[in-house]
Every structure is written in C-alpha cells, then in structure tokens.
Amino acid sequence: MVQSMGNTYCPLEIVMSAVAPPEVRPKPAVPAKPSHVVPPPSTAHMGSHGLGGGSASTLLGYIGIDTIIQQMRKKTMKTGFDFNIMTVGHSGLGKSTLVNTLFKSQISRKNAGWSREEKIPKTVEIKSVSSVIEEGGVKMKLTVIDTPGFGDQINNENCWEPISKYIGEQYEKFLKEEINITRKKRIPDTRVHCCLYFISPTGHSLRQLDVEFMKRLTSMANVIPVIAKSDTLTPEEKNEFKQRVRKELEMNGIEFYPQKEFDEDMEDKSENDKIREAVPFAVVGSDKEYQVNNKRVLGRKTPWGVVEVENPNHCEFAQLRDFLIRSHLQDLKEVTHNIYYETYRAKRLNDNGGLHPLTSSAPTETAESNV
C-alpha cells in the first residue's frame, strides 16, 4: 500500500519508520528513608485532619516531612523556652515549697543569703524570681511570681488588684515589643502562663474572697485551684471538700484550666475531662527527704509516719506535676498567647485606635535572675 505525499508517493512503511518512537525512561528510584528517623504510625497516607480540608492522597515513597518533629526539638534545645508560673493564696499555705517540689529545685524565693536550712521569709510584695533549669539537654527559663500576703489583712477588699495589674502589665510589655518597627528577633516573654491558686484545707467551703478573686483572675490567665497541705484532712474529708469546691466553682461560673470550650477534639475532651474531675488537686509539698522502706523519698514527717509527696495514695501531687509539666505545659503557653493575650491585644489596639504609639507605666515588680 502507498500513501500520497504532495506529488510523490511513498510506501506507508517508510513514513512510519521516519517517526522515532518515544524514549522510555526508567522510573526514578525512591530515596530510602534515613535510618536515624523513627517512623510514625503511618507514613503512606496523607489526610486532611486539622489542616482545614483538602483531599487525602497516598504517598509513593518516603519524603521526610515527619522529621519536622526532630527539627523542632533540635531548635528548642538550642534556644530553650520560657515558663512563668504565679502562686496566689494567703501566707502559710506552702506556695513556695510546692513550686520548689514541682521543679525539684530551690527556685522559689531564692536570694543570695538564703540557705536550705533557713525558714522561707514571708512575702511583702510581688516578686519575680527567674532561673534556668536544664534536663535532657532542654533548657527552660522558669520564672516564679510570688504574691503578697494575699487575704491576710482584716480588710481584704480589692486585694486582687495588684495581682491583676501585674498580669496586665506583662501583656502590655509584650504588646509594646510586638508592635515595634524594629522588634527583637525573640521577644522576652514575661506573661503569666499559669496561676496556681491555693485553697485553705478548711474542709468546709470556699471563702468569699476565694470566689471573688478567681472570678476576676480566670478572665486574665490560666487558673488551676489546689488544696494546700491536704494531709491535714482525712481521706473522707478530702473527697467531700473537693466535691464541695467543684460545685461552688460551677455555681459561680468560674472556668478553671483546662476550659471545656478550648477542647480541640474528642481525644482532648477525654483527657481533659479526667483532669477537670480531679480539680482541685489535693497536694502536699516538701523539699525534705526521709528514709522509707530503704529508699529516700520527699515527704512531711508526722507523729504517725511520713506523708510521701509523690505517692498517689497519700496526695495528688504527682497527678498535678504530670498534668502541669509533662502533658499540658505547651498548651498552657498556647492558651495564654492565643486566648488571653489576643483578647488583651485586640481590646488595647481597638481602644487606642490601632495606630498611635502605646504608653504605659513601667512595671512595679522586682525581678531577680541568675540567667
């Protein structure tokens, strides 16, 4: 058979042979996953959970996006991070001792002339004491904000004002740094990430001062109520007191941390529900060690024996520590920034027109640091 091409005729076989067949290239090899990368539960599927939608697709090979966790860890280990905790409650409830027990250090109420054997002096003004602690190569700048002898006066009217003023000043300080044209690469964070509110172990009910203070404070910061020196209560008294306090908090509309409205999913809700059921934590603090069953334990010695701080059968200190440090520390920081600070920022800029430079009086607290 022949085919016409202009004025000439060529066999069809010749025309077809003139067209070169497409080059078949070998499929590129998928790079092997580095041996040092620990695989997540599944790396072959990509979904859209938490990413605002999008269709799911299957990966044809290893990419390496899961190494972002190692990258973040490496950066955090280099730069470290800040955590600021405030303690509120009247004198004698062991606020400083509990913080020292939580972080296994003498950070709270530290000063140049204070030794371990000396009695911790009473508070007379708001003070922030900072120290860098390191564990497993991760550095944390811990700041403990100690409060005045809260509720110790005959007339305690408006005694929360210096504390709420301090919290507001830290938001203002961060905002002023944030809106600078040439701002620092890393803005110093002095905002209060967590407030431990110490309830007296009366076994009866909350004082009106407790209710009024927490009502005001929960709109500004993450508040976690704790029953101080809970070893002064019997197990039955402790359980009844905890239930009574929870009921009073609910009746007065006091939303302590973790707030139900901030649960992101069912997993969060399930975990946080267990915590909410345990609040207020009945705790005991001590930085003294005793010999119990051939091992050294932190505890408080009584005529009937030693109350072991980290024994879940004796108090809920271990539960508070795990919650505060090991599972929710990052969330405390995020809620502070995304909820409380953003609320303050929006109101402040709206009141100020969002254009004019901000002015505020310098913070009045005294700060000590060994950083």
Residue 178 or 111, more confident: 178
Q: What tokens were used for 171?
A: 């938001």
| 341-370 tens-digit pLDDT | 999 999 998 987 764 554 444 444 445 444
What confidence score (pLDDT) does residue 126 get? 86
Of the pLDDT bands very low, low, confident and very high (cuts 50, 70, 90), residue 25 is low
What confidence score (pLDDT) does residue 50 get? 59
What confidence score (pLDDT) does residue 121 get? 43
What confidence score (pLDDT) does residue 26 get? 54
Per-residue pLDDT at 28 exceeds 90: no
| 98-128 tens-digit pLDDT | 999 999 888 876 543 444 554 544 444 688 8
| 293-314 tens-digit pLDDT | 899 999 999 888 999 999 999 9
Q: b/e per residue, 60-76, with b = 16+ CB within 10 A?
A: eebeeeeeeeeeeeeee
Per-residue pLDDT at 84 exceeds 70: yes
Q: Which of 58-62, 248-252, 332-336 has the lowest mean pLDDT?
A: 58-62
Per-residue pLDDT at 199 exceeds 80: yes
Per-residue pLDDT at 40 exceeds 60: no
What confidence score (pLDDT) does residue 108 get? 74
Average model confidence (pLDDT) for the chain?
82
Answer yes or no: pTM beyond 0.85. Answer: no
The residues, any chain, with a CB within 8 Å of residue 174's CB and separated by 6 or more, are 187, 189, 190, 191, 341
What confidence score (pLDDT) does residue 159 get? 81
Task: Assess whether the previous peptide bond of 258 is cis (omega < 30° from 0).
Answer: yes
| 6-20 tens-digit pLDDT | 444 444 444 444 445
What confidence score (pLDDT) does residue 184 get? 85
